[in-house]
Amino acid sequence: MNQCIAILDFGSQYAQLIARRVRENRVFSRLVSPTISPAELREMNAAGLIFSGGPASVYEQSAPRCDPGLLELGLPVLGICYGMQVTCQLLGAHVEAAPAREYGRAKLDIIEPAGLMGRINSPAGVWMSHGDMVHTLPEEFIPLARTANCPIAAVRHRDRPVFGVQFHPEVTHTACGSQLLRNFLYDICGCSGDWEMGNFIAGAVAEVRQRVGPEDRVICGLSGGVDSSVTAALIHEAIGDRLVCIFVDNGVLRKGEAALVESTFRDHFRIDLRVDRAADRFLAQLAGVVEPQEKRRRIGHEFIRVFERHARTVPGARFLAQGTLYPDVIESGHGYSGHAANIKLHHNVGGLPADLDFELIEPLRDLFKDEVRLAGEHLGLPAEIIWRHPFPGPGLAVRIIGEVTAERVALLQSVDEIVIDEIRAAGWYRKIGQAFAVLLPISTVGVMGDGRSYEGQHVVALRFVETADFMTADWVHIDYEVLGRISTRIMNEVPGVNRVVYDVSSKPPSTIEWE
């Protein structure tokens, strides 16, 4: 079991960021509820605790607090912002509203340049975001640093390994933040840096082998996306041909998608892959449907029918593998509160009938997306799969505005292929969160050769967004040259398109997809 830093999440917008920063320093970390008990922490093999920031004020009645017993465990504690205020208050300090709220950059003068503040040059640029501050300290505390507006900007306890910083070491604007976290993790918590992808995979493989008996089989729905691909590769590493993957070609995938999945998983990994070419069934379901949610509903239902039919043909199928990631686990409640209770089912398999009674296997549930990609590299997946942009479950059906027909799908597939080709060739693919084209249900007038074009000529919109988490997004300020090349190729190579436009809307108020 890896050493672990438990991060008590007091509601900070940066809580996940803290977890990632710790992991970047090769120490495993997990967000936990502030109500966690000392006994639960011991079970986690915690080497130290970080108390996150949060929006409340510690002197409010309803402010989140933690069990004071956590400070009696002898484990090192680093309180950040609200986390510092809570920690110091529990140990007798007085916290009140700061005379001036402090947001943004501040200059930190270091009083004690050792321990937590070791190897950091003073003054240091730090990022502040607080309205309250520790006003007076009991004499067991020693101030470590100050800023102009915050005389107690960092502290340590005289006798216990308890530390606090009013600024945010986890954000990149705090340039010394990484050094401070390393000081905490390595010098204070005594971590050994054992969180390493190779070790993680070995551990996850061992766990799958232990759960899945010799007569059991695991079913995995492969979508071709990075999460399900890494899940399949990892489980295959653990149990070989007792893994059965099911790939449903619903007819609204990218061009060549089935071939890519087959060559990767069947030819290269030698996985038992069942491909269901069900395009006709799906397109029949979509005939005449223009309403986006209805498209989603029909595709979802049909997927379940097809998946179920395959699943029933696999003898001994006891487990269903899913590519649930850590942010999904966090989103659906705190990660450290039992294993199965908080799982958010993947939209594709959430509706399987109750008599298909699977136990879930989710080997990636502790990983962030970038860690999943790293795991994919370790497992030997091709870069084309590891670095793919996300693709929605309902596929091109929600990028074809209006009715979905085989002809319109084929047109959009050709456009999509050109878009992705050109973005890759120009070196933009990895700088973009998601890039795609949308087929609009309108005709506009054009001129081709010497004639006017109108009937049967369509408009295609290009949508390229950059985003950290797909919750908010901005349109990509891509080179005009690249846009121009894409547009020219689409018009020359795809009959039926005589106009290309670029979408310059952010999310919010728009969404990423058009439907």
- Catalytic positions are 81, 168, 170
The answer to whether the CB of 231 falls within 8 A of the CB of 322 is yes
State the Cα–Cα distance between residues 267 and 328, nearest whole angstrom. Answer: 31
- Residue 347 binds to ligand XMP (criterion: CB under 6 A): yes
Residue of 66, 231, 392, 500 that binds ligand XMP (CB under 6 A): 392
Residue of 231, 413, 434, 487 that binds ligand XMP (CB under 6 A): 434
Residue of 327, 390, 446, 496 that binds ligand XMP (CB under 6 A): 390
The answer to whether the CB of 459 falls within 8 A of the CB of 444 is yes
The amino acid occupying position 246 is I
**Beta carbons within 10 angstroms of residue 461's beta carbon:** 17
Convert 399-429 to b/e letters by CB count within 10 Å (16 or more is b).
Answer: bbbeebeeebbebbbbbbbbbbebbeebebb
- Give the residue with the Cβ less far from ligand XMP, 36 or 512: 512
Q: What's the closest the beta carbon of residue 391 comes to ligand XMP, in angstroms?
A: 7
- Residue 344 binds to ligand XMP (criterion: CB under 6 A): no
How many residues make contact with ligand XMP (CB under 6 A)?
12
β-pair type (46-51, 4-8):
parallel
Residue of 394, 438, 457, 497 that binds ligand XMP (CB under 6 A): 394
State the Cα–Cα distance between residues 515 and 229, nearest whole angstrom. Answer: 26
Region of 29-37, 261-269, 332-340, 506-514 interacting with ligand XMP (CB under 6 A)? 506-514
Three-state DSSP state, 474: strand
Region of 62-70, 334-342, 390-398, 453-461 interacting with ligand XMP (CB under 6 A)? 390-398
Nearest residue to 231 via CA among 217, 243, 248, 214? 243
Q: What's the closest the beta carbon of residue 344 comes to ligand XMP, in angstroms?
A: 12
Q: What's the closest the beta carbon of residue 390 comes to ligand XMP, in angstroms?
A: 4
The answer to whether the CB of 279 falls within 8 A of the CB of 250 is yes
State the Cα–Cα distance between residues 341 and 359, nearest whole angstrom. Answer: 12
Q: What's the closest the beta carbon of residue 432 comes to ligand XMP, in angstroms?
A: 12
Q: Give the bridge partners for 485, in sequence order.
A: none
Q: What's the closest the beta carbon of residue 461 comes to ligand XMP, in angstroms?
A: 14
- Residue 512 binds to ligand XMP (criterion: CB under 6 A): yes
Kind and range of the H or E run holding 49: strand 46-51
The answer to whether the CB of 88 falls within 8 A of the CB of 140 is no
Residue of 135, 255, 369, 507 that binds ligand XMP (CB under 6 A): 507
Region of 131-139, 172-180, 388-396, 474-482 interacting with ligand XMP (CB under 6 A)? 388-396
- Residue 296 binds to ligand XMP (criterion: CB under 6 A): yes
Residue of 136, 470, 493, 501 that binds ligand XMP (CB under 6 A): 470
- Give the residue with the Cβ less far from ligand XMP, 177 or 323: 323
Who's near 427: CB < 8 A, 6+ residues apart? Answer: none
- Residue 252 binds to ligand XMP (criterion: CB under 6 A): no
Region of 246-254, 269-277, 329-337, 387-395 interacting with ligand XMP (CB under 6 A)? 387-395
- Residue 485 binds to ligand XMP (criterion: CB under 6 A): no
Q: What's the closest the beta carbon of residue 513 comes to ligand XMP, in angstroms?
A: 3
Kind and range of the H or E run holding 6: strand 4-8
State the Cα–Cα distance between residues 211 and 27, nearest whole angstrom. Answer: 26
Measure CA of the first residue to CA of the last residue in the chain; give whole Å. 44
Residue of 37, 172, 192, 511 that binds ligand XMP (CB under 6 A): 511
- Residue 301 binds to ligand XMP (criterion: CB under 6 A): no
The answer to whether the CB of 272 falls within 8 A of the CB of 245 is yes
Q: What's the closest the beta carbon of residue 24 comes to ligand XMP, in angstroms?
A: 24
State the Cα–Cα distance between residues 31 and 47, nearest whole angstrom. Answer: 14
- Give the residue with the Cβ less far from ligand XMP, 186 or 368: 368
Q: Name the burial class of residue 142, with classes exposed (0-12), middle (13-18) and buried (19+) by CB atoms within 10 angstroms of its CB.
A: middle
Q: What's the closest the beta carbon of residue 244 comes to ligand XMP, in angstroms?
A: 22
Q: What's the closest the beta carbon of residue 364 comes to ligand XMP, in angstroms?
A: 16
What are the phi and psi torsion angles at 361 (to 5°)? -120, 125
**Beta carbons within 10 angstroms of residue 24's beta carbon:** 15
- Give the residue with the Cβ less far from ligand XMP, 444 or 511: 511
Residues 175-234 that bind ligand XMP (CB under 6 A): none
Three-state DSSP state, 99: strand
- Give the residue with the Cβ less far from ligand XMP, 171 or 352: 352
- Residue 393 binds to ligand XMP (criterion: CB under 6 A): yes
State the Cα–Cα distance between residues 254 and 178, nearest whole angstrom. Answer: 41
- Residue 64 binds to ligand XMP (criterion: CB under 6 A): no
- Give the residue with the Cβ less far from ligand XMP, 20 or 296: 296
- Residue 59 binds to ligand XMP (criterion: CB under 6 A): no
Binding mask 304-343 for ligand XMP (x = CB under 6 A): ----------------------------------------
Q: What's the closest the beta carbon of residue 346 comes to ligand XMP, in angstroms?
A: 8
What are the phi and psi torsion angles at 470 (to 5°)? 70, 0
Q: Which residue has the tokens 């099911």?
A: 246
What angle is formed at CA 506 by the lines to CA 504 and CA 511, rounded to 5 degrees?
Answer: 110
Residues that bind ligand XMP (CB under 6 A): 296, 347, 390, 392-394, 434, 470, 507, 511-513
